[in-house]
Amino acid sequence: MSFLDRSRTVAGPGFSRWLVPPAALCVHLCIGQAYAFSVFNLPMTKLLGISKSAPGDWALTDLGWIFSIAIFFLGVSSAVFGRWVEEGGPRRAMFTAALCWAGGFLVSAFGVYIHTLWIIYLGYGVLGGIALGIGYISPVSTLIKWFPDRPGMATGMAIMGFGGGAFIASPLSVWLMGKFTTATHVGVAETFIVLGVVYFFFMIVGSILVRVPPDGWLPAGYTPPAESAKLISRHDVFVYDALKTPQFWLIWWVLCLNVTAGIGVLGQASAMSQEMFPGHITPVAAAGFVGLMSLFNMGGRFFWASTSDYIGRKNTYFVFMVLGFVLYCLVPYTGSAGSVAGFVCCFLVIISMYGGGFSTVPAYLRDMFGTRYVGAIHGLLLTAWSMAGIFGPVLVNYIRAYNVAHGVPKAQAYNTTMYIMAGLLVIGFICNFLVKAVHAKYHMKEQDARGSEPALRPAGARA
């Protein structure tokens, strides 16, 4: 379809680059629903029994795999399809993500209707996971090209949307299920269908809005910084050559360790807060704490990525590692001192840096490897997320279980984990310290035929 071609998305005269962030948000706000998928877990355990689980109903442990498969396929698809996304352009990628995301919901609705779990694994897990991967990386390089003066802020806005998608999806899903549920039926399938249609519409609007800048376009009054002044390269590196550089793997570990430190506590925040402060933090207050953490997770994505435009990407990660180390070491003391306020403040800052790690990394990659394949390289880097998604929860859950089994009071069962998280951030600090400018032998040459883009006609887009 020529409408989807990259050449058809080149901005014409009068186009404002500030139209691109909402286009990106159209996609990220939708796929961010993934963080709210857990609202379906309990209703899906009662599809047969309606008011309570009956024989034949699905177990929570089986349903937990839906989200895990989706996140696994996020990592796989962003790595596999990254180059295709980069070369095919953002509109084709967003359109594909919309088809897969809506398709995933519709297939899952069918799976719920005939009560066959593997169809939901296939629908939301595989198809939805592919949409997550393609959708997540699709607007990144486009935003970086439109905002060479503030790449961190630009990608921060989009990736903030991924964090914010759950805020919309969670109440919307609960409301829809309430509307479709009757005394004899749980309205999960109908909710999936409505969500699929609504998300498809939203994402298609994004794909229509999105534009790429013409070749050589720069914002009015912007002059590119001097070469290597702040570890910012003006040379592009081919996507698969980036894998051969130590910089890629160092940043991979920086992201993996930063995410590992955050994702484990994010998943266990409710239980952890109640166990560390028995009698002080009730289940209702713990739910409020989780909500507050989600807000800081989202806000941190914009705040830290925007800050990185001023202090530099490497320094931003130094802040994550040093401040994170101090805060993780402080958490056990807040527990022993009974300081709920101290505990809450520590974790709100930690979780803001967890979100900030995600949103700052595309601009870090752009600084290292140039803009041409930054989306594809970002896709490859997201495998660090998949890895951290396994490490983080395992560290928190298993070490807590080990401590409790060996007689450690529940209020202190997380202390060892906090010190291990702090240790991980020390390793992250070292990896970040070792990041230097990419060697010139990896730079693409002018006549490099790999991944040649279709010529982009010049036009008068505006800043």
State the residues that interact with another protein by CB under 8 A: 13-16, 18-19, 22-23, 25-26, 29, 161, 164, 166-168, 170-171, 205, 209, 214, 216-218, 220-221, 281, 284-289, 291-292, 294-295, 298, 344, 458-463
> Min. distance of Cβ 218 from another protein in angstroms?
5
Q: Residue 167 and residue 172: Cα distance in Å, rounded?
A: 9
Closest CA to 68 of 392, 290, 421: 392
Contact partners, residue 423, CB within 8 Å, separation at least 6: none
> Min. distance of Cβ 340 from another protein in angstroms?
9
Burial 14-46 (b: 16+ CB within 10 A, else e): ebebeebbbbbbbbbbbbbbbbbbbbbeebbbb
On whether the CB atoms of residues 212 and 6 are closer than 8 A, the answer is yes
> Min. distance of Cβ 119 from another protein in angstroms?
29
> Min. distance of Cβ 227 from another protein in angstroms?
17
By beta-carbon proximity to another protein, the closer residue of 214 and 451 is: 214
By beta-carbon proximity to another protein, the closer residue of 21 and 332 is: 21
On whether the CB atoms of residues 313 and 250 are closer than 8 A, the answer is no
On whether the CB atoms of residues 148 and 224 are closer than 8 A, the answer is yes
> Min. distance of Cβ 277 from another protein in angstroms?
11
By beta-carbon proximity to another protein, the closer residue of 81 and 147 is: 147
Closest CA to 158 of 28, 17, 35: 28
- Residue written as token pair 């230097």: 436
- Residue written as token pair 């286009």: 23
By beta-carbon proximity to another protein, the closer residue of 99 and 205 is: 205
By beta-carbon proximity to another protein, the closer residue of 287 and 401 is: 287
Beta strands in 89-202 (DSSP E): none
Cα 290 versus chain centre, distance: 18
Contact partners, residue 1, CB within 8 Å, separation at least 6: none
Burial class of residue 278 (count of CB atoms within 10 Å of its CB; 0-12, 13-18, 19+) = exposed
> Min. distance of Cβ 13 from another protein in angstroms?
8
> Min. distance of Cβ 156 from another protein in angstroms?
14
> Min. distance of Cβ 36 from another protein in angstroms?
10
By beta-carbon proximity to another protein, the closer residue of 221 and 407 is: 221
Please report, as a single letter, which amino acid is at residue 323: L
By beta-carbon proximity to another protein, the closer residue of 133 and 164 is: 164
By beta-carbon proximity to another protein, the closer residue of 7 and 116 is: 7
